[in-house]
Amino acid sequence: MGKNFSTIELFAGCGGTALGFEQAGLTHSLMVENNKDCINTLQYNFKDSHVLSKDIRDVSFLSYCGNVDVVQAGFPCQGFSHAGKKLGFAEARGSLFFEFARCVKETQPKIAVGENVKGLVNHDKGRTLRVICDTFDEIGYRVTYKVLRSQYLDVPQKRERLIILAIRKDLAGIPFLFPEEKNYIITLKEALANCPVSEGVKYSPEKQVILELVPPGGCWRDLPADLQKSYMGANFYHTGGRTGIARRLSWNEPCLTLLCSPAQKQTERCHPSETRPFTIREYARIQTFPDEWRFSGGLLAQYRQIGNAVPVKLGYHIGKKVIEMLEKIGDLAN
């Protein structure tokens, strides 16, 4: 059964993927995180899991070799700006992806799961992703990847994430499995029904006046012509839709991708019927965290944690497929 499969979670953040994996039936042997607020969030909500508060570069994983089934990492992609000149494991050194790869090399899990932004696919003309794939190949894993659309996987949010799957090469014949998109979406109205009251940031008086004029589903284009120019400034003359500016969301659609700061000018996420950003609990609902999930730190730190998280339901659906792959490995062994 899935509950017997164990994971190591790297760059665990505030626990979006970890909670989704747990809901799917996986258990956590170790979570590694270096941000103080995230660590406090993890320790409060995962009381029975081992949360290691340490820089991953200072962690040896050798004691876990052969004892974990899955290593999962939502790794940052710094250090790849000049990737591609020399492909492979050595090229990845200096990036935090290397620490993910090193953990996989030291622990030899059956499956590794990486998560990152969709933009990584085309970063440095595709060379970055090639380095990642070549690195996994070099340490003994076959690898593939896919961009998943959260809005079709029980998440009320248009959030796309690159998911990388790696299977140890000696486990030949095991297929790569990704979640299949559903034929429905969850709207903001459904997601925020009976949402608990909580703290939230407010708009400046100037922004409040502007956004009062924008209808649900609208943006700066719905403002009077003179206000469009004064509010947009130089952006008024730029090409592209720029529809994130002065954007009010609609009750009848999923949310746009939540960001770490809820009131940035060029990426508005205004509440559909009230002129304000979403509150902490609304942010958490949109990222499919349960209402009882507590986030540590100040208000802005909480927004940052939630905005950086993988939606819990996306983690759940990935976790279910990981378990399915692990069970196929077990069937092969029998």
Residue from 14, 77, 103, 133 carrying the catalytic annotation: 77
Is residue 245 within 8 Å of residue 265, measured between CB atoms?
Answer: yes
- Name residue, tokens 């076959």: 142
Residue 263 forms beta bridges with which residues? none
State how far the Cα of 28 lies from the Cα of 13, in Å rounded to an integer.
Answer: 14
* Rg of the chain over all Cα atoms, to the nearest angstrom: 21
Name the nearest CA neighbour of 39 among 299, 316, 305, 285. Answer: 305
Residue 28 forms beta bridges with which residues? 7
Q: Give the 3-state secondary structure percentages of the chain, helix then strand then coil, rounded to 5.
A: 40, 15, 45
Identify residue 144 by its one-letter amino acid code: T
State how far the Cα of 248 lies from the Cα of 192, in Å rounded to an integer.
Answer: 16
Catalytic residue flag (residue 77): yes
State how far the Cα of 303 lies from the Cα of 296, in Å rounded to an integer.
Answer: 10
State how far the Cα of 139 lies from the Cα of 104, in Å rounded to an integer.
Answer: 8
Name the nearest CA neighbour of 123 among 162, 81, 76, 79. Answer: 81
Residues involved in catalysis:
77
